[in-house]
Amino acid sequence: MYKNIMVPVDLRHLDRLGKALKTAADLARQYGAQVCYVGVTAETPGALAHNPREYAAKLADFAAAQSAEHGIETTSKPLASHDPAIDLDHTLRDAAEEIGADLVVMATHMPNITDYIWPSHGGRLATHSDASVFLVRGG
Amino acid sequence: MAEQDTTQGIPEPEGAAALIDTDYEIGQDNVEGSLGPFGFDIHNPVFMISGLTIVAFVFYALALPQQAADLFGWLRPFLTSTFDWFFLGAANIFVLFCLALIVLPVGGVRLGGQDATPDYSYVGWFAMLFAAGMGIGLMFFGVLEPVYHMAISQPLGVPSPIADDGSIIAENVEAAKRMGLAATIYHWGLHPWAIYAVVALALALFSFNKGLPLTIRSAFYPVFGERVWGWTGHIIDTLAVFATLFGLATSLGFGAQQANAGLEHVFGIANNTSVQVLLISGITGIALISVLRGLDGGVKVLSEINMGIAALLLLFVLLAGPTLTILADFVEGLGAYGKELVALSNPIGREDTGYMQGWTAFYWAWWISWSPFVGMFIARVSRGRTVREFVICVLIIPSLVCVLWMAVFGGVAIDQVLSDPAGSAVKAQVIDSYNPPISLFAMLEGLPLAKITSVIGIVLVIVFFVTSSDSGSLVIDTITAGGKIDAPVPQRVFWATFEGAVAIVLLLGGGLPALQAAVISTGLPFTLVLLLMCYAIFRGLQSEKR
């Protein structure tokens, strides 16, 4: 049913992604799908990497590690953005379209009051993406 | 958004050779958490100390307004008159340094790595440069300054063509007109842009190429080494945040007063603090929306819109005014600037201290105190340009635009004053009395469609304040987050709001002049900072591949 699963990841907060990563891996095994890990980085140096090239390498390593751990086929797609905190939503949406994802699995927070002012990234993606979106709550 | 491909960044197979090897990890001093549903990610000492320093200064200015006004009202003029030679000499060094970078081989180094491509088109890039750095000033001083230097301040001792009784002294006209333009262009040409270029280049180089966090302190790694991550750096960054926030807040406060004066002159709207508070709130509100839409969707869009409108106004004034005279003024102004540049930038043995200290040294101190903000913003949007391209586009082209702007707006104003001194509104508002905020509108009154162009002028002024506020908030957010540009969004909302709040508080409490003087006083230590940056840039460029 699903051939191409996209999993947005924040490499700085991998501890919060455990459930989403496992969910994506299980679904990939179930349907024989490929998982593409997508990460958005700034072009300025950050906590993870000095430049986008380093970030790409780290994301690729992460994808390889997931492949080894779960026995699934993985790729990575690193993206650089001028203003990651704001551009994240449309960046992810464009990425989903570009890689032809038919399912997006992403971690999201429990609903709270700020969702009325700032909808969550997952929520926005679910509203505007052509792909199916699985929002994994809890860690 | 640029898609990552393996040719971006520093293309060294064994890792980036030009990256600075330091144990410091970006974010290691940061405190992450959440206040209820709002996340935050702040650099521990810098955020707190900046915040507390700012609040302390606001309290000081409000609790002891006379004392604060006296202290800073004394300090700033003292600095600009005692250290005038230092400011002028340093600014000359920056210009020469930048020009050298155009011709030296190190000018071929590309910001972001050999294969990086420019993040923004020329149009978007220029729009953001101007909107952050100079838009407001051009609006206010474009008319005022050429007239003032022609008629009153007597730069280099050139006598005024306007006698005390208001009549024209014919033999002084030509020289005074030339000097009026040249003396103004000097303040808005190569020198201020060189100041911004030095800071922007240092920050861009050490961040995009060397992998250090995007904060002011990073440019000092060649000078201070690992100490730059400790208190040396904390002080540098805190000073930058202080200067930026108060620079913006006091500009916002004064700007609201000036916009109010303009509104009163054009529409008869009441000139009082309530209107001004509304203006500040409105500007802050629009800036907030811009900040929430991010760099590309907010700041860039507003900057481009404003540049477009400014260009239209310029074109209108050019065509509605004495077009051929203005075009002749442009050429003449450029020539006069070139000819008088050395004399105007001479730091020693000057007799025209009123002009040199009251205008030049004051301006240099002011630009230098703004340079951490404007420089960091320019750095952030300049990835992918070579150093040569960067310097040409940040130094030469904006200078030419400023020359054109001064020639058009100032040229029309001068023409109005000299051709009909008794009836000129500009003469009334600039020479007979001194009403800077009204000067632009006084000039527009002498042209057709004055009401419409005045409204456009007010809109331009307001949007230029917005673009300063939003880019400033992003810069302060980045510095106080230890160089991270992806801190949680509520943080930048906090800074944008805080800026507006400080402006309102100072406006109502009467602390604006005192704190603006305080900001300009930071121009002195920052001049040292910038001189060190020139050294750091040169060292940094030498180790880069071209």
Q: Is the separation of the CB atoms in B280 and B253 below 8 Å?
A: yes
pLDDT in tens, B306-353: 889 999 999 999 999 889 988 998 898 889 999 999 988 888 888 888
Average pLDDT over residues B36-57: 84
Q: Which residues pair with B341 in a beta bridge?
A: none
Kindly give the residue spans of alpha helices, DSSP state H, lying in B134-220: 135-151, 170-188, 190-204
Q: What is the mean pLDDT of chain B?
A: 86
Q: What domain range is A57 assigned to?
A: 4-137
Q: How far is B453 from chain A (nearest CA, A)?
A: 35
pLDDT at A109 (0 to 100): 78
Can you name the CATH fold of B38-151+167-542?
Amino acid/polyamine transporter I (1.20.1740)
Q: In the prediction, which pLDDT does B3 show?
A: 37
pLDDT, tens digit, 9 for 90 and up, residues B94-118: 999 999 999 999 888 899 888 888 9
Chain B hits for A77, CB-CB cut-off 8 Å, are 4
- Looking at residue B11, its pLDDT comes to 29
- Would the pLDDT of B150 be above 70? yes
pLDDT digits (tens, 9 = 90+) for A76-91: 999 988 888 888 888 9
Q: Are B8 and A84 inside 8 Å of each other by CB?
A: no
Among B89-93, B129-133, B405-409, whose mean pLDDT is lowest? B129-133
Q: Verify whether the Cβ–Cβ distance A86 to B26 is below 8 Å.
A: no
> Closest Cα of chain B to A30: distance in Å?
30
Which residues 108-127 of A are in CB contact (within 8 Å) with B? 112-114, 118
Count of structural domains within chain A:
1
**pLDDT at residue B10 in the model:** 29
pLDDT given at position B18? 65
Rounded to whole angstroms, what are the CA distances from B460 to B89, B253, B302, B323, B423? 34, 17, 11, 23, 27
**pLDDT above 90 covers what percent of chain B?**
26
pLDDT for res B38: 75
Q: Which of A36-40, B419-423, B526-530, B537-541 has the lowest mean pLDDT?
A: B419-423
B-proximal residues of A, 61-80, CB under 8 Å: 77-80
Specify the pLDDT at position B8: 30
Token readout for B256 is 């609201």
Interchain proximity B213–A85, CB inside 8 Å: no
Q: Please provide the DSSP assignment of B195-221 as one string.
A: HHHHHHHHHHIIIIIT---SSGGGGGH
Q: What is the CATH number of the domain that holds A129?
A: 3.40.50.620
Separation between Cα atoms, residue B377 and residue B379, nearest integer Å: 5
Select the highest-mean-pLDDT range: B50-59, B281-290, B353-362, B477-486: B281-290
Overall pTM > 0.90: no
Q: What percent of chain B has pLDDT over 70?
A: 96
Q: Where are the alpha helices (DSSP H) in B392-522?
A: 397-405, 411-419, 425-426, 436-445, 450-480, 489-509, 512-521
Chain B residues with beta carbon closer than 8 angstroms to that of A118? 489
* B198-255 pLDDT, tens digit each: 999 999 999 988 888 899 999 888 888 888 899 989 999 998 998 888 888 888 888 8
Contact B468, B128 (CB under 8 A): no
Mean pLDDT (whole number) for B392-418 = 89
CA distances (Å), origin B38, targets A42, A88, B327, B447: 21, 17, 55, 52
CB contact under 8 A, A53 and B293: no
Distance of CA B146 to the CA centre of its chain: 19
- The answer to whether the CB of A120 falls within 8 A of the CB of A109 is yes
Q: Does B293 touch chain A (CB under 8 A)?
A: yes
Q: What's the gap in Å between the CA of B26 and the closest CA on chain A?
A: 5
For an interface test with A, the pick among B292, B485, B489 (most A C-beta atoms closer than 10 Å) comes out as B485
Instruction: Tell me, yes or no, if A10 comes closer than 8 A to chain B by beta carbon.
Output: no
Cβ neighbours, 10 Å, residue B254: 21
Using the beta-carbon criterion (under 8 Å), do B19 and A79 form an inter-chain contact? no
Task: State the average pLDDT over residues A58-75.
Answer: 94
Mean pLDDT of B379-395: 91
**Distance from C-alpha of B50 to C-alpha of B52, rounded to nearest angstrom:** 6
Confidence of residue A139 (pLDDT cuts 50, 70, 90): low
